[in-house]
Each structure stands twice: as structure tokens, then as C-alpha cells.
Amino acid sequence: MAEYLVLIYEDEAGWAEAGPDTWERVITEHRAFGERNGAVLRGGHGLHPTETATFVRTDNAGGFTVTDGPFAETKEALTGFYVIEAADLDAAVAIAKQVPAPFGGVEVRPVRVFDR
């Protein structure tokens, strides 16, 4: 079994305009996803909006530049993630298709394991 990261990308404007009924429905859908897939879930979290992000980058002088906000302006931003365990990519995609993402979609990426 391998681990996969399921990245949830959504249009934050959709969430900003969503009413309490939408929030409650999607939270209920995520709870149901967790219950259905608890055996393969290894972790996951929702993220605060990109306006709360802080970006850290090395500079040419060997120091760091720290800026507020996301790294890039995009229509869809990373809003959450799950770490899952699956037999192969096809199985991971089948699980990812169940992830609620009403204002976007999900990306599935294998987790790279480095030998120690």
C-alpha cells in the first residue's frame, strides 16, 4: 500500500459567498467521507483562506524574504487535504472522487518516501 495526498483546490470566492446552509452541508459531507473511508485515512485538515498565508522564500544573500498572502494569485486555492493509503493510483482516485469540493476539485499525488 502507498500513501497519496489528496489536495482540495477550490474557488475561495464561492466559499466567501456561501451561506450557512452550504457550510453545514459540506461539513456533513466531509464527516460522511471520513466515516466511509476511515480505514484508509491517515490524516487531513481544512485550511484557512489564502489571505492568512505567509510565504517564506530564500533570497540571494542567504537570508529569507517573508511576505503576507499566497505565493501566487490563482482562481482556485488549496483549501484542504487528506492523506490516504491505497493499493495504487486507481484506488486513490476512486477515493478522491468522494471528496466534497463544491467550488473546485481535487488533485491526487503519490507521497514520495525517502530512504533514511
Compute the distance between CA of residue 3 and CA of residue 91 in angstroms, rounded to an integer: 11
b/e for 24-47, b at 16 or more Cβ within 10 A? eebeeebeebeeeeeebbeebeee
Query: 109: helix, coil or strand?
Result: strand
Could you give the percent of the chain with pLDDT greater than 70? 97
What global pTM score does this model have? 0.88
Question: Where in the chain are the domains?
Answer: 2-110
Radius of gyration for the chain, computed over Cα atoms and rounded to the nearest angstrom: 16
Asked whether 82 and 3 are in contact (CB, 8 A), the reply is no
Q: By mean pLDDT, which of 5-19, 34-48, 58-72 is the weakest?
A: 58-72
72 pLDDT more than 70: no
What cell numbers appear for 85 in the block? Answer: 493509503
Query: 27: helix, coil or strand?
Result: helix
Any idea which architecture 2-110 has in CATH? 2-Layer Sandwich (3.30)
Could you give the percent of the chain with pLDDT greater than 90? 81
